[in-house]
Amino acid sequence: MLEDTDGDLFETIPDEVAPAPLIVHLIHQLGVGGLENGLVNLINHMPPERYRHAIVCLKESTSFHRRITRPGVEIISLNKREGKDWGHYLRLYQTLRRLRPQLIHTRNLGSIEGQLLAAVAGVKCRVHGEHGRDMADLHGRSLKYNLLRQMLRPLVGHFIAVSGDLQRWLVERIGAQPARVTHIGNGVDSLLFHPRLGPPAAVGPPGFLCENAFVVGSVGRMVDVKDFATLVRAFLLLLRAEPGPRTRLRLLIVGAGPCRADCIAMLQQAGAGALAWLPGERDDIAQLMRAMDLFVLPSLAEGSSNTILEAMASALPVVATAVGGNVDLVQAGWTGALVPPRSPELLAEAIARYYRTPDLGPRHGARARRQILAEHGLPAMAHAYLAVYDAMTAPRR
């Protein structure tokens, strides 16, 4: 209550509170994947009063959006057709003009053209993230793709790289100023992904798990860049090495994609179909990881692998290929092992060391869990992104 000049009291009406600034996250598609998982984790763990969020998908959204627990996140699908769909540029421009975000965050090559549309639409704060590469450009050397990135580089206010490898590549090959590139690794929910307590849960079809089974596991999209065929070949090499492993060794690969059928066919042709379980896409990844004894990621390229982080949080030792951000996460000889890509023989040797040395896996897994708790919590990841967003949106003098 305030008093006016005549001494009367009157009630003040508070000014309407301005809504939090809006961030538009532009991605190719909202489906199962490491990039998408990282985006969902970020939105769920950022302080809700600081920023609002909208996700614009160049293609479409799937049921994966149900993992977003924060209310009020608008999800927009532009339904881009395969190939050159000039109409989607107009739809993106109109969407940005309607939303009027304070900041846009594009991710990977598939959405970087959105930087130009955002500039035309008047979005002054623009961030671009690099999360990894695909089969079309495993090592980031494509002249065509890099020329596009270099042309759009002046429009990007800040770059975010999920691995040290991508951070160096942005500076050395794309020409980004070091001060405008921040390395922010992915985070993991260490409460959801936790070590096995007691015996492993029963998973797979009847008869899949046997007494004292040693489960070699992996999780990911079954596409060429993940190279699960090399893991299958390594598994078959181990089975042929001696009769002992066949009685205990089991393979579990969780994920859907075009390569799944080929992997199943390879296992069946070798007479090992009953020793492996490839269930496709699942929602109980944390439980399935607690049934594994060793996690293996045979990728040809990686940014900062969410599945490696989840495995480490589950206290699993990790055998991974020495590519991209894998070398930042896996400490060879301490929390796991690193092998060259497309090397089934060396991959089989690395798996065999854990199979034949029962105390090695638990020891490396415990160290991996401690590393996650110290360096890869979701609050720390969200805070790092928040610092970039705050610096970009802060009023300029």
Give backbone dihedrals phi and psi of 99, rounded to 5 degrees, phi first. Answer: -75, -35
Query: Environment class of residue 11 by beta-carbon count within 10 Å: exposed (0-12), middle (13-18) or buried (19+)?
Result: exposed
DSSP 8-state assignment for residue 121: T
Q: How confident is the model at residue 396, as a pLDDT?
A: 67
pLDDT digits 0-9 by tens, 98-111:
999 999 999 999 99
What's the mean per-residue pLDDT of the chain? 93
Q: How confident is the model at residue 17, as a pLDDT?
A: 65
Q: How confident is the model at residue 207, as a pLDDT?
A: 85
Contact 120, 90 (CB under 8 A): no
CA of residue 146 relative to chain centroid, distance: 22
- Which residues, other chains included, contact 219 with Cβ-Cβ below 8 Å and sequence gap of 6+? 253, 254, 255, 285, 288, 289, 295, 307, 310, 311
In this model, does residue 293 exceed pLDDT 80? yes
Contact 136, 114 (CB under 8 A): no
pLDDT digits 0-9 by tens, 304-333:
999 999 999 999 999 999 999 999 999 999
Q: How confident is the model at residue 16, as a pLDDT?
A: 60
Q: How confident is the model at residue 200, as a pLDDT?
A: 76
pLDDT digits 0-9 by tens, 40-61:
999 999 999 999 999 999 999 9
Beta strands at 2-3 and 318-321: parallel, antiparallel or unpaired: unpaired
Q: How confident is the model at residue 224, as a pLDDT?
A: 97
Using a pLDDT cut of 70, give the percent of the chain over it.
94
Q: How confident is the model at residue 247, as a pLDDT?
A: 82
Q: How confident is the model at residue 372, as a pLDDT?
A: 97
Instruction: Spell out the domains of the chain, with CATH numbers in brackets.
Output: 22-187+378-393 (3.40.50.2000), 214-375 (3.40.50.2000)
Query: Environment class of residue 343 by beta-carbon count within 10 Å: exposed (0-12), middle (13-18) or buried (19+)?
Result: middle
β strands within 52-146, DSSP E: 52-57, 74-77, 103-107, 125-130
Give 231-290 as a DSSP string. HHHHHHHHHHH-SHHHHHEEEEEE--STTHHHHHHHHHHTT-GGGEEEEES-S-HHHHHT
Distance CA 391, CA 179 (A): 12
CA of residue 291 relative to chain centroid, distance: 22
Dihedral sign computed on CA atoms, order 332, 140, 33, 259: negative
pLDDT digits 0-9 by tens, 184-233:
999 999 999 999 988 877 899 988 988 889 999 999 999 999 999 999 99
Residue where the block lists tokens 């594994």? 292
In this model, does residue 366 exceed pLDDT 60? yes
Q: How confident is the model at residue 5, as a pLDDT?
A: 46
Compute the average pLDDT of residues 76-103.
95
Distance CA 60, CA 64 (A): 11
pLDDT digits 0-9 by tens, 156-172:
999 999 999 999 999 99
Q: How confident is the model at residue 397, as a pLDDT?
A: 47
Q: How confident is the model at residue 2, as a pLDDT?
A: 44
Compute the average pLDDT of residues 240-266.
90
pLDDT bin (cut points 50, 70, 90) of residue 13 is: very low
Distance CA 340, CA 332 (A): 12
Distance CA 127, CA 103 (A): 7
Compute the average pLDDT of residues 382-387.
97
In this model, does residue 126 exceed pLDDT 90? yes
Region of residue 342 (left: phi > 0; alpha: psi -120 to 50; beta: else): left
Compute the average pLDDT of residues 84-100.
96
User: b/e for 284-298, b at 16 or more Cβ within 10 A?
Assistant: ebebbbbbbbbbbbb
Q: How confident is the model at residue 243, as a pLDDT?
A: 63
- Looking from the CA of 44 toward its CB, the CA atoms found within 13 Å total 15
